[in-house]
């Protein structure tokens, strides 16, 4: 049975582009937090270039984001303890340095908290252990060397605290378009990749550009990208095929659970799935010492006709 929805408000999220891996991740993160964390009945679709969020208006979204971001950096999924090399414990720092026993202890402490457990399953899996004895982490973690994913995440959450005067401006810039700021993009925004020798100023003298709230919303999408064991010594991150991150484009407004099912499908089946207009892919590339997602390309065979999922093609998405 096909679920139907009444006509309602629709936000044209012109700052979240389908042709950007960060834009796609941010749109999924917004859908997840609106549905799971705020309890709102919203759906997500894509126009020719950007995301659309159905069933909500700006005042409701702004109020919900204020409530959601209050104290977000202190959430248990971002602060659970891990054992350091010297045997002491501290809040989790690197995703690729979580011992299986710490992972299981964190899971026990998050019992009854589905959001926290969903983030934990996205950070790593204890079902596959690296040669160094750590849980295998998410492929979207491009930190390396002394970089630590979780402290950067917590710092960004503090920067986006709703008590700051620029909170609404930053949110508007992310969702509807606006100037970039000095903020690391976690390697998810190809536009922000630094081309070092081609820059007018040495990278050591300038901060990398990005949209802080776009990055945060992308972080909120991680529960839709869990790390899954596919053998005794191998795990994959949902959405990846080899060294490429892939994502579908659709025009029919979908709920969170429908998007979750779409993300869980084998990548090889998406292109032929009725309702999918196109497949985008972004290869992992190196920028200096760091991995990043590269400029996205759309697969051949783009189908601009907005066929509905499991329908006769006569139903078109409406705002």
- How far apart CA 77 and CA 97 sit, in angstroms, is 15
pLDDT-wise least confident of 98-112, 116-130, 176-190: 176-190
Give the C-alpha distances (Å, rounded to integers) separating 237 from 4, 176, 178, 279, 312: 32, 29, 31, 17, 33
User: Which is nearest to 286 in space by CA: 211, 196, 210?
Assistant: 196
Give the pLDDT confidence of 276-314 residue by residue, as tens digits: 999 999 999 986 677 899 999 998 766 665 556 654 443
* Structural domains in the chain (count): 1
Q: Give kind and range of the element (H or E) at residue 76.
A: helix 76-79
Give the C-alpha distances (Å, rounded to integers) separating 125 from 108, 129, 233, 260: 14, 8, 11, 19
- What pLDDT, on a 0 to 100 scale, did the predictor assign at position 207? 64
* Average pLDDT, integer, range 237-262: 95
Q: What is the dihedral of CA 287, 247, 15, 254, to 10 degrees?
A: -160
pLDDT-wise least confident of 25-39, 63-77, 196-210: 196-210
Q: Give kind and range of the element (H or E) at residue 32.
A: helix 21-32
- What pLDDT, on a 0 to 100 scale, did the predictor assign at position 253? 96
Output 184 or 71, whichever has higher pLDDT: 71
pLDDT higher than 50, residue 264: yes
* Average pLDDT, integer, range 102-112: 97
- What pLDDT, on a 0 to 100 scale, did the predictor assign at position 304? 63
Give the pLDDT confidence of 200-219 residue by residue, as tens digits: 444 444 567 889 999 999 99
- How far apart CA 148 and CA 197 sit, in angstroms, is 25
* Dihedral (CA of 89, 93, 97, 102) sign: positive
Output 33 or 271, whichever has higher pLDDT: 33
- 197 phi/psi in degrees, rounded to 5: -65, -20
Percent of the chain with pLDDT over 90: 74
pLDDT-wise least confident of 23-37, 203-217, 255-269: 203-217
In angstroms, the first-to-last Cα distance of the chain is 22
Output 197 or 105, whichever has higher pLDDT: 105
Mean pLDDT of the chain: 88
User: Which is nearest to 301 in space by CA: 282, 269, 276?
Assistant: 276
- What pLDDT, on a 0 to 100 scale, did the predictor assign at position 198? 40
Domain of residue 232: give its range. Answer: 1-319
- What pLDDT, on a 0 to 100 scale, did the predictor assign at position 271? 83
């Amino acid at each position: 049975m096909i679920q139907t929805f009444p006509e309602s408000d629709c936000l044209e999220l012109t700052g979240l582009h389908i042709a950007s891996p960060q834009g796609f991740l941010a749109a999924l993160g917004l859908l997840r937090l609106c549905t799971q964390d705020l309890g709102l009945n919203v759906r997500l679709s894509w126009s020719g270039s950007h995301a659309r969020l159905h069933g909500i208006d700006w005042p409701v979204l702004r109020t919900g984001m204020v409530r959601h971001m209050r104290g977000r950096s202190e959430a248990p999924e971002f602060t659970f303890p891990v054992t350091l090399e010297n045997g002491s414990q501290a809040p989790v720092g690197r995703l690729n340095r979580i011992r299986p026993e710490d992972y299981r202890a964190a899971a026990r402490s998050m019992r009854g908290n589905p959001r926290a457990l969903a983030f934990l399953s996205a950070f790593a899996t204890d079902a596959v252990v690296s040669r160094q004895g750590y849980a295998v982490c998410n492929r979207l973690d491009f930190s390396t060397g002394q970089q630590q994913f979780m402290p950067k995440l917590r710092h960004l959450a503090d920067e986006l605290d709703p008590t700051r005067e620029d909170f609404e401006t930053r949110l508007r810039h992310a969702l509807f378009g606006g100037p970039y700021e000095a903020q690391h993009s976690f390697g998810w925004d190809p536009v922000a990749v630094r081309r070092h020798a081609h820059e007018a100023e040495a990278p050591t003298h300038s901060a990398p550009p990005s949209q802080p709230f776009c990055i945060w919303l992308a972080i909120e999408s991680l529960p839709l990208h869990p790390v899954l064991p596919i053998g005794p010594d191998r795990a994959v991150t949902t959405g990846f095929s080899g060294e490429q991150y892939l994502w579908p484009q659709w025009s029919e407004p979908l709920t969170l659970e429908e998007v979750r099912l779409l993300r869980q499908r084998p990548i090889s089946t998406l292109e032929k799935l009725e309702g999918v207009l196109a497949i985008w892919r972004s290869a992992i590339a190196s920028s200096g010492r760091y991995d990043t997602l590269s400029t996205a390309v759309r697969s051949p065979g783009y189908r601009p006709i907005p066929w509905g999922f499991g329908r006769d093609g006569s139903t078109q998405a409406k705002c």
